[in-house]
Amino acid sequence: MPVFDTLSLASLPQADEAIRPAIRAIAAEAAAAAGADRRARSWQGYDPAFSRRLGEAGFLGLTLPERYGGHGRGPFARFVVVEELLGIGAPVAAHWIADRQSAPLILNFGNEAQREFYLPRIARGEIFFCIGMSEPGSGSDLASVRTRAERTESGWRVNGQKIWTSGAPHCDYMIALLRTSGSAEDRHAGLSQLIIDLKAPGVTIRPIRDLAGDEHFAEVFFEDVDLPADALIGNEGEGWKQVTAELAFERSGPERIYSSVVLLDAWVRHLQAVGRDDPATLALVGDFTARLGVLRAMSIACTARLAAGESPVTEASLVKDLGTAFEQQLPVAIGDDLAAHPDQAVDAELYRTLLYVTHVAPSFSLRGGTREILRGIIARGMGLR
């Protein structure tokens, strides 16, 4: 299958491996005081002080040019940093979207003034972004968004609503996909991306509590929100193209394989503590270990395509779908394993971690594109239409 031939074993360059000890030390500081059930929240864990600390230490905006406050490194360096943060479950939610996809988007499609205005502050961990894509009537069918931005004499006026916006209650800005011309029937045409200052008059944010008791996502309402002309990012009418490129960044990182890794480690430590080594347990541990190893190698292979300047949309979808299936199977299998041994007491922290991951696991294959959408992208990559 020629389309997937480019996904091949790659290794992290030595220069990028070299930054691992420093980021590991900072991540360990943040995680030291937190129990496994808290660390399992990782990229839902909001800690702006920690994000600023990462910025001061030079671990945000890694891939941005130095003239914008970045560090001129490549996707491999970012892989190392993200792996260290997620592997231990450090609280990264505050800066997550800004660092992962808003900054590359502004760098790629923004004008010089926008770059100078936003990028240095993102790299310092001072401003946080969220993504305005989903709407009440637009989930997987993203091109059907109805929230509009109309041209005014001084810029833009926005009316409508976004929903399931992760981090909105804590963020400074939203990069929203909006309709700037035509109607929902025009599909991909007439969509644009605008940067919305969430403190602007007319913006109302209502947090939504999730089934685990957390409030990380929200509804965001826009009522005659006036924005300046330079709120437009990239070109008017090219929002779909820009969003597609953005999603390649969103889908290809190690966050798509590590969502349950804090639970995996807590379970392995439990097995070690109780000394269980029957053949079925060993086979289960071995299966997870093999899959984690291959998924990590696949994620690095995908990062190598990013590093080569490509936009590996199909490849990233493939790694994400396989990765989230693994992330979702872990809590199911670990729950069965623990409850199959009622005489080996499970401590309260492991139990809370297990149930937290079990409850939020459905979101792993929703956020960033559902399983069905991703498999459709892969099928098209295989030549099926």
Partner 1 sequence: MSEFLEPFERMLESLSPPATVRSIEAGGDADALWNGIAESGFLDALVPEERGGAGLPLAEVCALWQALGRHAVPLPVGETMIARALLADAPDGPIALASAGPGAATVVPFGRVARHVLLEFGGRLCLVEASGEETGVAGSLAARMIWDAAPAEVVGAAPAGGLRAIAAVLRAALIAGAADRLTAMTAAYANERVQFGKPIGKQQALQQQMALMAEDMVACRIAAQLGCAGDLQPGLVAAATAKSIASTAAARLAATAHAVHGAIGISEEYDLQLYTRRLHEWRLADGSETYWNRLLGAARLGDARGSVDYVREAL
Which of 211, 294, 308, 332: binder of partner 1 (CB under 8 A)?
Answer: 294
How many residues belong to the site for partner 1 (CB under 8 A)? 49
Q: What does the alpha-carbon distance between residue 340 and residue 179 come to, in Å, rounded to a whole number?
A: 53
Please tell me the distance from the alpha carbon of residue 171 to that of residue 169, in angstroms, as a whole number: 6
Which contiguous run of DSSP H or E holds residue 117? helix 112-123
Binding residue for partner 1, selected from 172, 230, 265, 337, defined by CB under 8 A:
265
Give the residue carrying structure tokens 């597609």: 244
CA-nearest of 60, 105, 66, 103 to 81 is 60
Task: Candidates 110, 321, 356, 360: give the one binding partner 1 (CB under 8 A).
Answer: 321
Measured from the CB atom, is 44 or 317 closer to partner 1?
317
Q: Is 201 in the site for partner 1 (CB under 8 A)?
A: no
Active site residue: 250, 255, 315, 327, which one?
A: 250
Kindly indicate which of the ranges 31-39, 91-99, 140-148, 256-264 contains the residues binding partner 1, using the contact rule CB under 8 A: 256-264
Q: Binder to partner 1 among 97, 103, 175, 298 (CB under 8 A)?
A: 298
Q: Could you give the CA distance from residue 13 to residue 319 in angstroms, rounded to a whole number?
A: 21
Torsion of CA 92, 94, 99, 100, to 10 degrees: 70
Regarding 15 and contact with partner 1 (CB under 8 A), the answer is no
For partner 1, which stretch binds (CB under 8 A), given 32-40, 132-140, 198-206, 370-378? 370-378
Q: How far is CA 46 from the centre of its chain?
A: 14
- Compare residues 290 and 308 and give the one whose CB is closer to partner 1: 290
Ranges within 32-71 binding partner 1 (CB under 8 A): none
Tokens read off for 17: 């491996």
Nearest approach in angstroms of CB 51 to partner 1 is: 22
Query: Which one, 142 or 378, has the nearer CB to partner 1?
Result: 378
Question: Which of 289, 308, 310, 348 is in the footprint of partner 1 by CB under 8 A?
Answer: 289
For helices 313-339 and 348-360, angle between their N-to-C axes, nearest 10 degrees: 140
Burial 11-23 (b: 16+ CB within 10 A, else e): ebeeebeebeeeb
DSSP state for residue 160 in the 8-state scheme: E
Least separation in angstroms between CB 366 and partner 1: 16
Dist. CA 225–CA 235, nearest whole Å: 20
- Binding of partner 1 by 310 (CB under 8 A): no
Asked whether the beta carbons of 158 and 148 are under 8 A apart, the reply is: yes
Nearer to partner 1 (CB atom), residue 42 or residue 165 = 42
Window of 30-38, 145-153, 276-284, 362-370 that interacts with partner 1 by CB under 8 A: 276-284
CB of 136 to partner 1, least distance (A): 24
Applying CB under 8 A, does 333 fall inside the site for partner 1? Answer: no
**CB of 180 within 8 A of CB of 168?**
no
Q: Is 349 a catalytic residue?
A: no
- State yes or no: residue 236 binds partner 1 (CB under 8 A): no
Q: Out of 203, 205, 297, 366, which residue is the one contacting partner 1 (CB under 8 A)?
A: 297
Q: State the pairing for strand pair 173-179/129-132.
A: parallel
DSSP code of 65? Answer: -
Instruction: Give the pair of three-digit tokens for residue 378.
Output: 């892969």
C-beta of 128: minimal distance to partner 1 in Å?
A: 26
- Please report how close the Cβ of residue 125 comes to partner 1 at its closest, in angstroms: 24
Q: Which parts of 85-114 interact with partner 1 (CB under 8 A)?
A: 87-88
Q: Residue 293: which residues within 8 A CB-CB, separation 6 or more?
A: none
- Class of residue 321 by CB neighbours under 10 A (exposed 0-12, middle 13-18, buried 19+): buried
Q: Which stretch binds partner 1 (CB under 8 A): 6-14, 99-107, 150-158, 195-203?
A: 6-14
Among positions 69-88, residues that touch partner 1 (CB under 8 A) are 83, 87-88
**With helix as H, strand as E and coil as C, how does 241-280 read?**
HHHHHHHHHHHCCHHHCCCCHHHHHHHHHHHHHHCCCCHH
Q: By the criterion CB under 8 A, which residues form the site for partner 1?
A: 1, 4, 7-9, 83, 87-88, 258, 261, 264-265, 268, 271-272, 277, 279, 281-294, 296-298, 301, 318, 321-322, 372, 374-376, 378-379, 381-385
**Residues assigned a catalytic role:** 250
